[in-house]
Structure 1
Amino acid sequence: MIFKYQLGTDGEIYQDALSIRRAVFIDEQDVSESLEIDGNDEQCWHVVGYLDALPIVTARFYIFNQSDKLCLKLQRIATSASYRRQGYGRALMEQVIEWAHQQKISQIHLSSQIQAIGFYQTVGFNTCNDAIYLDAGIEHQDMIYQVNKKDL
């Protein structure tokens, strides 16, 4: 699998990311397009995983400072339906974690759909607290990954 990154919305990588997101969030999960395409894409990085030139996994993220720590907020994580449970989502997460290591990020934050918490735990994320909330009508819980300083 080949991963490609793009900052902002001007390019093919973003269009490929959007195609996956539309299929997963809008078509499968009935999230409204106005919530899914929220106006923040221009300020985010978009990563897409390609298998034989076919875009199959994606995520977006942005970097922020919290208590003098460089952090990454990971969002819009999606795998095309026919490629789930084959290790591609894990490969995407490992790719983003490696990118974070290289950029000297301290923490990676994400908001997980409840049904996906177990998956994120297998790649090292932990829930932040017991609070469950609705986002786009779907139950979510905040999670965090502590980037290992000795690996930087």
Structure 2
Amino acid sequence: MNCIRVATEEELGEVLEIRRKVFVEEQGVPADLEWDEFDASPDSCRHFLVRDGRSPVAAGRWRPYEEGLAKFQRIAVLAPWRGKSVGRLLMNEMERDARERGCSGVVLDAQRTAEPFYRKLGYRAQTGETFLDAGIPHVRMDKIWD
């Protein structure tokens, strides 16, 4: 397994295909809610891609947020690779990249079903209140580095 920062249109296409499979097909998110201005090019934000050999299996992105925080978004692992530390690899690489760019921590909106995964990585719920995003229950979480 390797995780790379997306640098080409082809790699971005692989990222978008993973998200289509996970969010649009599997979870029923309307396509018009899944894609946004941060998907326009590899440089629109910091996209990451995990491959198992040549097969794309996971993706995520981050962008600068407020007060030196990174906002992690669109974290997706294809179903056959879940529970195999692929998400951990992706998150570790994205965190490393955000730290290298001067971020002091991360904010993300976790699907409630993924909250235990993020807790294992050291994230905490900011308020614990649930909100809907694309009709899916979420909770705002963060992780601040020392």
* TM norm. shorter chain > 0.5: yes
Provide the residue aligned with 1:127 in structure 2: 125
Among all aligned residue pairs of Structure 1 and Structure 2, give the percentage whose two residues are the same amino acid.
Answer: 31
Deviations 1:49-104 (A, max 9, x none): 111021111001111332xxx11100000001111111111111111111122222
Aligned-partner SS, 1:24: helix
Residue 80 of structure 1 is matched in structure 2 by 78
User: What code does the residue aligned with 2:106 have?
Assistant: I
Q: State the aligned residue count.
A: 143
> For 1:105 and 1:147, how far apart are their aligned partners in 2?
9
Q: Is the aligned partner of 1:107 residue 2:108? A: no
Mapping of residues 1-152 of structure 1, within 5 Å: 1-6=1-6, 11-42=9-40, 43-66=44-67, 70-148=68-146
Shift of 1:121: 0.5
1:99-134 C-alpha deviation (Å, 9 max, x unpaired): 122222101010000011010000111100022100
Distance 1:101 1:38 in 2: 25
Tell me, in whole angstroms, the C-alpha distance in 2 between the residues paired with 1:104 and 1:84: 30
Where structure 2 has 5 or more consecutive residues not aligned to the other structure, the ranges are none
For 1:105, what is the secondary structure of its paired residue? coil
- d(CA) in 2 for partners of 1:130 and 1:56? 30
Asked if 1 retains the 8 angstrom alpha-carbon contact of 2:3 and 2:89, the reply is no
Matched position secondary structure for 2:12: helix
Structure 1 stretches of 4+ moved >4 Å: none
User: Do the aligned residues in 2 keep the contact of 1:4 with 1:13 (CA within 8 Å)?
Assistant: no
Query: Retained in 1: the 8 A contact 2:73–2:108?
Result: yes
| TM-score when normalising by structure 2 | 0.92
Structure 1: tracts of 5 or more residues without a match: none
Superposition TM-score, scaled by structure 1 size: 0.88
2:129 is paired with a residue whose SS is coil
